[in-house]
Amino acid sequence: MTQADGGSFRILLWIVAVGFFMQTLDSTIVNTALPSMARALGESPLSMHAVIIAYALTMAMLIPASGWLADRFGSRNVFLAAIVLFTLGSVACAASTSLTQLVLSRIVQGAGGAMLLPVGRLVVLRNVPRDQFLAAMSFVAIPGLIGPLVGPTLGGWLVQTASWHWIFLINLPVGLVGVVLTVLYMPDSRNPGVGRFDMLGYLMLSLGMVALSFSLDGLTDFGFERATVLVLLVFAFALIVGYFLHAQRHPAPLFPLSLFRIHTYTVGLLGNLFARIGSGAMPFLIPLLLQVGLARSPLEAGMMMLPVAAMAMTAKRAVTRLINRYGYRRFLVVNTLALGGLQAAFAFMPLLSLPAMLVLLGCYGAVNSFQFTAMNTVTLRDLDPAGAGSGNSLFSMVQMLSMSLGVTVAGALLATFTPHFAAGIAGSAVTAFQATFVTIGLLTSASAWIFWHLDSGVSGGGRGVPADEAG
């Protein structure tokens, strides 16, 4: 491995950091623009969650393949392809004239976004001296925190001052600069000894995730009959069970079953899957409530999301001390219950004054940040070097799947509750939102039971495998 000189080294970090920023920004900037996009496309705002789900689900499907693709075709080639796909998908989103076109464009965008972060991290790992690696990854992680901070506000400002198309068009100049810098400065590394890709295992997991998402979304968005939904559910679970049987016999499965012999990894993975459903639903629900239910402008809705991200960044400084003092089990059980309670408390948001709303949003941002940091680190802390790659890929896939399920569940709950609260009567939309927040809070609180299965002696020490900095 050839180390870059000082100037090239800094440019390499900026390339990866900007790619990370593009991916995390686009995960949040769309939320405040959904009502405006719905009006322009002639759709109901409550049906627009497919725009978020398509992006998240595509990323969840392709993240597991990103490491193998970089080893096989070269990290620079794959990272370059990721930027090109992401930029082209952004342009296609801006040019969309129907919800179907927008969803398809988001799939292209998600295909690029899926490879930006994991391949970028791999490039840094292979080209940064070990004594500078922590500082390098800390620098690269900063955009992952800034993206969610500015995303809702920037999205609201662009919608109000220009149009929703600009939340996608701003990626075009950034993408063009990224392409040029990647070609000039990013080293190309690959693994000549990489084995054959476990295509059967990959298809089983990918199709299983798609079937599960469509089954949950089928009744509300696609008008599926209950029998169709049931078949999709059975198909999804059959594929997931089939993968476990396949992995037992395959010499080099995509995700070896030995990962699940690590107790902290198994509990952390399951806890992430279910606890993140509520956290994935909230960025979709809150801006929608502010605009549809409380008649706030897109810019106001975006500005009101600032306390969430600002407190999330501030709270990260305290979480290590708290985990070291109380241990992972006690901390995660209590914090998960607190997170569920705060999510349910958003049912009272229409009754609160503006300062009280901002306090609630800030408290939620801090507790949510605690939750992400603790779940991330407990999941990856005990992986050995041999299993770190596949374990982190599976973890990343579960994170994106859970975010997709969160938006799906939120949309399904809203669609279910709305007819029961006298649609057409003033305030009925707000009541449906309130019922949805309470249900989401109860679901999150129930996931505390998973973290109770951690050993009481598990504390902040570990083998130091870095968690997902984006949360």
Which DSSP string do the residues of 22-65 spell out, in sequence order?
HHHHHHHTTGGGHHHHHHHHT--GGGTHHHHHHHHHHHHHHHHH
Hey, which of 54-63, 276-285, 302-311, 347-356 has the most confident mean pLDDT? 347-356
Kindly write down the DSSP assignment for every residue of 296-312, as one continuous string: --HHHHHHHTHHHHHHH
Strand, helix or coil for residue 447:
coil
pLDDT over 80 (residue 322): yes
Q: From the CA atom positions of the chain, what is the Rg in Å?
A: 21
Question: Quick one: pLDDT at residue 149?
Answer: 60
C-alpha span between 380 and 395 (Å, rounded): 8
Q: Are 462 and 377 in contact (CB under 8 A)?
A: yes
Strand, helix or coil for residue 415:
helix
316: pLDDT confidence band, cut at 50, 70 and 90? confident
Report the half-sphere exposure of 279 (CA within 13 A, side-chain side): 30
Query: What integer is the mean pLDDT of 90-97?
Result: 92
Q: Are 406 and 276 in contact (CB under 8 A)?
A: yes
Question: Quick one: pLDDT at residue 358?
Answer: 92
Please indicate whether residue 129 or residue 255 has the higher confidence score (pLDDT): 255
Please indicate whether residue 451 or residue 39 has the higher confidence score (pLDDT): 451
Question: Quick one: pLDDT at residue 468?
Answer: 43
Tell me the average pLDDT of the chain: 81
Q: Are 32 and 160 in contact (CB under 8 A)?
A: no
pLDDT over 60 (residue 5): no
Question: Quick one: pLDDT at residue 42?
Answer: 87
pLDDT over 60 (residue 430): yes
1: pLDDT confidence band, cut at 50, 70 and 90? very low
Query: Each residue of 131-186: pLDDT tens digit?
Result: 665 456 556 666 665 666 667 677 778 887 888 888 888 889 888 988 998 888 88
445: pLDDT confidence band, cut at 50, 70 and 90? very high
Chain centroid, CA 31 distance in Å: 13
Please indicate whether residue 346 or residue 205 has the higher confidence score (pLDDT): 346
Q: Residue 455 corresponds to which tokens in the numbers above? A: 């050993």
pLDDT over 90 (residue 95): yes
Give the angle 114-16-396 at the CA atoms, nearest 5°: 35
Please indicate whether residue 154 or residue 465 has the higher confidence score (pLDDT): 154
C-alpha span between 177 and 71 (Å, rounded): 25
Instruction: Report CA torsion sign: 270, 271, 272, 276.
Output: positive
Residue 426 phi/psi, 5-degree rounding, is -55, 135
Question: Quick one: pLDDT at residue 147?
Answer: 66
pLDDT over 90 (residue 87): yes
Cα dihedral 65/68/71/77 (nearest 10): -20
Give the angle 141-369-386 at the CA atoms, nearest 5°: 55
pTM, entire model? 0.75
Of 326, 80, 103, 251, whose CA–CA distance to 180 is shortest?
80
C-alpha span between 17 and 301 (Å, rounded): 27
C-alpha span between 411 and 38 (Å, rounded): 14
Strand, helix or coil for residue 462:
coil
Of 51, 158, 146, whose CA–CA distance to 96 is shortest?
51
pLDDT over 70 (residue 6): no
Helix axes 263-288, 428-446, angle to 10 degrees: 170
DSSP state of 250: -
